[in-house]
């Protein structure tokens, strides 16, 4: 954006969102683990807005709480008299701002900064207002943008107020517009409510500008970019759209997805080139995977860092704070939480590693558990380099296993093990010769006697 064109954003989020049937504000519902309003704010951040105002109504307190730390102002619309009335509520927050103002909706989170930039570029000395249009496969009840032969906008009309010829037009209004602040507030104040709904409609800003003899133009974009989210079904469709685009981006960047449609990303997932992801993998927030790593089928990762050449799964779970260093491996039904698995270390199956630090080259046997919680506090387990932990061992933290030490299978270790030592913690085995044979004979006779009775 040109440096001499100051830009501000007004986001309308005052609707009740009744179709969501939720106690949570509509724009706080998540796509890829991130609230839809945050997706939109992140996109607009690329344009460096001088100010951003969110106009809220019902459940406005939820928005204020959710946006703490964001450089935004929440303005209140009460009562709610329509979209033009909502946009006008941002005037006070922008009273000292002079420049271009974009008005959009909080429930259309896929709007791209590049599209807004095209709208900005379309504003010039002869154009007073720019609106964003799209051509859907089904025009449904969208408002229409009626254009003249020269491509300028001749009329903006809501579906309910359109006649049959106007409804034949397939250029629909997304609700996004841009105007200079000198024009916007004046035009908003001149909007009336003489329509089927008795509301003050935002598109009438363009209608008012046209009535003044000003030029209004429409910029077109893909319908998917401006799809509104008003129900759980539409939220799911937006999630599917986002995931599809993210999978395509990943593969273009050199990631192998064996069954792309079964892999789900979070908004901040980072996969390096030459990562391989097998079917049915879910990435929660905060995951980074380095080059050459393989994430095998049915694994779930969240808040985890996977190093170069590592192998995860199948059926593995990495929870927040899990770090796998270069060449390490966890196998089926292994769970890590707040634990570091050193370079080349392995935990191949049926293991829980929590609040632990495992040294390079260590081998963790099947069924090993780091007992990190005493009911009140978490404690740490440290396992040295090249240590061998036998199957079905319980390491009762806090405890340290030295380098090259061996913990025998079936041990419950509650004291530190020195480097190079063997620790075996087992009850003495008792053998009663012939006892099992005598037991079987007695039971068989008893059962036979019961049948005779």
- Residues 286 and 360 both lie in one domain: yes
Q: Report yes or no on whether pTM surpasses 0.95.
A: no
**Residue 418 marked in a binding site:** no
- Residues 261 and 385 both lie in one domain: yes
Q: Where residue 161 sits, what CATH number does that domain have?
A: 3.90.550.10
Picking from 181, 202, 226, the residue at the C-terminal end of a domain is: 226
Residue 429 lies in a domain: no
**Residue 426 marked in a binding site:** yes
**Residue 158 marked in a binding site:** yes
Q: Where residue 355 sits, what CATH number does that domain have?
A: 2.160.10.10
pLDDT of residue 197: 81
81: tokens are 């008299």
- Residues 287 and 365 both lie in one domain: yes
How many CB atoms are closer than 10 A to CB 315?
A: 16
Strand ranges, E, within 14-91: 30-31, 34-35, 51-56, 73-76
Question: Looking at residue 18, what DSSP letter applies?
Answer: G
Which range marks the domain in which residue 192 is found?
A: 7-226
- Residues 72 and 187 both lie in one domain: yes
* Residue 334: its H or E element: strand 329-341
**Residue 392 marked in a binding site:** no
pLDDT of residue 301: 98
pLDDT of residue 33: 96
pLDDT of residue 4: 46
Picking from 226, 250, 269, the residue at the C-terminal end of a domain is: 226
Strand ranges, E, within 242-316: 256-257, 270-271, 276-277, 282-283, 288-289, 294-295, 300-301, 305-306, 311-312
Q: Please state the three-class secondary structure of 144-212 as a single string.
A: EEEECCCCEEEEEECHHHCCHHHHCCCCEEEEEEEEEHHHHHHHHHHCCCCCCCCCCCCCHHHHHHHHC
341: tokens are 């698995």
**Residue 384 marked in a binding site:** no
Which are the catalytic amino acids?
Answer: 349
Residue 443 lies in a domain: no
Of 3, 5, 210, the residue nearest 120 (C-alpha): 5
Angle at 206 between CA 126 and CA 123, to 5 degrees: 35
- Residues 415 and 349 both lie in one domain: yes
Say how far apart CA 271 and CA 269 lie, in whole Å. Answer: 7
Domain count, the chain: 2
Say how far apart CA 292 and CA 339 lie, in whole Å. Answer: 21
pLDDT of residue 116: 97
Helix (H, G, I), strand (E, B) or coil at 246: helix
- Residues 219 and 253 both lie in one domain: no
Residue 340 lies in a domain: yes
Mean pLDDT for back-to-back runs of 10 residues, the chain (453 residues): 72 89 94 96 96 93 92 92 94 95 96 96 91 93 90 88 90 95 94 85 91 94 94 96 97 98 98 98 98 98 98 98 98 98 98 98 98 96 98 98 97 97 90 93 92 79
Report phi then psi at 237, rounded to 5. -65, -40
- Residues 222 and 251 both lie in one domain: no
How many CB atoms are closer than 10 A to CB 2?
A: 8
């Amino acid at each position: 954006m040109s440096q001499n064109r100051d830009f501000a954003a007004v986001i309308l989020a005052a609707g009740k969102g009744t179709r969501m049937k939720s106690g949570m504000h509509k724009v706080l519902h998540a796509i890829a683990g991130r609230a839809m309003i945050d997706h939109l704010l992140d996109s607009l951040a690329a344009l460096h807005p001088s100010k951003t105002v969110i106009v809220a109504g019902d459940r406005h307190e939820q928005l204020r709480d959710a946006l703490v730390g964001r450089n935004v102002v929440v303005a209140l619309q009460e009562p709610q008299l329509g979209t033009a009335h909502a946009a006008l509520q941002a005037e006070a927050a922008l009273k000292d701002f002079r420049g271009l103002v974009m008005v959009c909706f909080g429930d259309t989170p896929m709007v791209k900064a590049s599209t807004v930039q095209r709208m900005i570029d379309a504003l010039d000395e002869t154009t007073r207002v720019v609106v964003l249009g799209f051509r859907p496969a089904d025009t449904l009840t969208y408002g229409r943008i009626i254009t003249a032969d020269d491509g300028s906008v001749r009329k903006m009309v809501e579906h309910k107020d359109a006649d049959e010829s106007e409804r034949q037009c397939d250029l629909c209004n997304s609700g996004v517009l841009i105007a200079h602040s000198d024009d916007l507030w004046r035009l908003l104040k001149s909007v009336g409510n003489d329509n089927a709904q008795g509301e003050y409609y935002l598109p009438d800003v363009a209608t008012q500008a046209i009535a003044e003899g000003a030029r209004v133009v429409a910029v077109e974009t893909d319908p998917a970019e401006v799809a509104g989210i008003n129900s759980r079904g539409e939220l799911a469709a937006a999630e599917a759209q986002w995931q599809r685009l993210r999978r395509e981006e990943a593969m273009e960047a050199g990631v192998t997805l064996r069954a792309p449609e079964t892999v789900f990303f979070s908004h901040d997932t980072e996969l390096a080139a030459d990562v391989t992801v097998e079917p049915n993998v879910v990435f929660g927030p905060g995951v980074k995977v380095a080059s050459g790593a393989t994430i095998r089928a049915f694994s779930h990762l969240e808040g985890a860092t996977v190093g170069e050449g590592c192998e995860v799964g199948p059926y593995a779970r990495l929870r927040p704070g899990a770090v796998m260093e270069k060449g390490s491996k966890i196998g089926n039904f292994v769970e890590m939480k707040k634990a570091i698995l050193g370079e080349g270390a392995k935990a191949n199956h049926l293991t829980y590693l929590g609040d632990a630090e495992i040294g390079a080259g260590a081998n963790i046997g099947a069924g090993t558990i780091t007992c990190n919680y005493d009911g009140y506090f978490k404690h740490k387990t440290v396992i040295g380099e090249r240590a061998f932990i036998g199957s079905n061992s319980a390491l009762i933290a806090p405890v340290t296993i030295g380098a090259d030490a061996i913990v025998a299978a079936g041990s419950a270790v509650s004291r530190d093990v020195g480097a190079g030592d063997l620790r075996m913690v087992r009850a003495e085995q008792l053998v009663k010769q012939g006892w099992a044979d005598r037991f079987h004979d007695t039971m068989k006779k008893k059962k036979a006697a019961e049948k005779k009775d």
